[in-house]
Structure 1
Amino acid sequence: MMSNFDSMVTRQRKWMLYWLAILVLCAGFLPYTRIFLGLILGSSISLYNLWLLQYKSEKLGETISAGRKSRSGLGTFSRMAAAVLAVVIAMRFEEYFHLYAVIIGIVSSYLIMMIDFIVYQITMRNQKED
């Protein structure tokens, strides 16, 4: 049986991949290619950051539940460095990537996490009422 954490991780990664697929389709068929390429770059980094955060959170939980002290954090520096890398790429290749779209893409995983939390809470509340 899948734990709540595992099902949450799976849901969030699935929605990030759906989001990226929609962006790729939009970049291919709509005239705002530079904006959608920026969103794709930022969202790709955001997916990496989401994966890293989930991986580090799982390892931290395992360490604490085993009664050991954690020697590593949640990878905040790595996630910030990845976001800075995306911004540097967007600034270097300005003709391909829209900078503001990259920044919006970087925060897309956090938006998906919030939406997933809200939808999960609503479904849990509805299941308790039944």
Structure 2
Amino acid sequence: MSNFDNMVIRQRKWMFYWLAILVLCAGFLPQTRIFLGLILGSSVSFYNLWLLQYKSNQLGKTVAAGENTRSGLGTFSRMTAAVLAVVIAMQFEEYFHLYAVIFGIISSYVIMALDIIFYQIIIRNRQRDKSF
């Protein structure tokens, strides 16, 4: 399995964990509106993460095959999904906290950054252990 595939699996796993924690918090804590906003934003963020990973994989395959087809990374689709989540939050203000939705939308980018940091720390520790 390639490094890209391992990264995709790790990031999706962390997003599932994040969503599971949010669902539990929404069910058991009194700030339901905030957690529902986080769930909405994080769900859209998970879709955006999946779309970005899928499009990146497809682009890598076309470049490796030497094809000259022009394809994007789905930026417009990801922006549209984020705007849709904000519109839903504004339409149903009694159920979704707007700032929580916005934070949820950026949650996949936070998870990607943390994944890179943790992965680099693990790689550095493995290389240090091998040198001894």
TM range (shorter): over 0.9
1-side partners of 2:29 and 2:3: how far apart?
Answer: 38
CA positional deviation for 1:70 = 3.2
> Normalising by structure 1, what TM-score?
0.98
Distance 1:88 1:60 in 2: 31
Gaps of 5+ in 1: none
Distance (whole Å) between structure 2 residues aligned to residue 91 and residue 15 of structure 1:
28
- Structure 2: unaligned runs, 5 residues or longer: none
Number of aligned residue pairs: give it.
129
TM-score (norm 2): 0.97
For residues 22-41 of structure 1, what are the structure 2 equivalents within 5 Å? 22-41=21-40
- What code does the residue aligned with 1:9 have? V
Cα drift, residue 25 of structure 1: 0.3
2: distance between equivalents of 1:3 and 1:93? 43
| Aligned Cα root-mean-square deviation (Å) | 0.5
Structure 1: how far apart are the matches of 2:121 and 2:70?
Answer: 36
Paired letter, 1:112? I
1:44-81 deviations in Å (ceiling 9; x for gaps): 00000000000000000000010112321000000000
Amino acid paired to 1:113: M
2:118 is matched with 119
Give CA deviations for 1:9-42 in whole Å, capped at 9, x if unaligned: 0000000000000000000000000000000000
- Aligned partners of 1:12 and 1:113 also within 8 Å: yes
Q: SS state of the match for residue 121, structure 2?
A: helix
Instruction: Please give the per-residue CA displacement for 1:65-116, whole angstroms capped at 9, x wherever unaligned.
Output: 1011232100000000000000000000000000000000000000000000
C-alpha distance in 1 between matches for 2:70 and 2:24: 42
Poorly superposed stretches of 4+, deviation over 2 Å: none
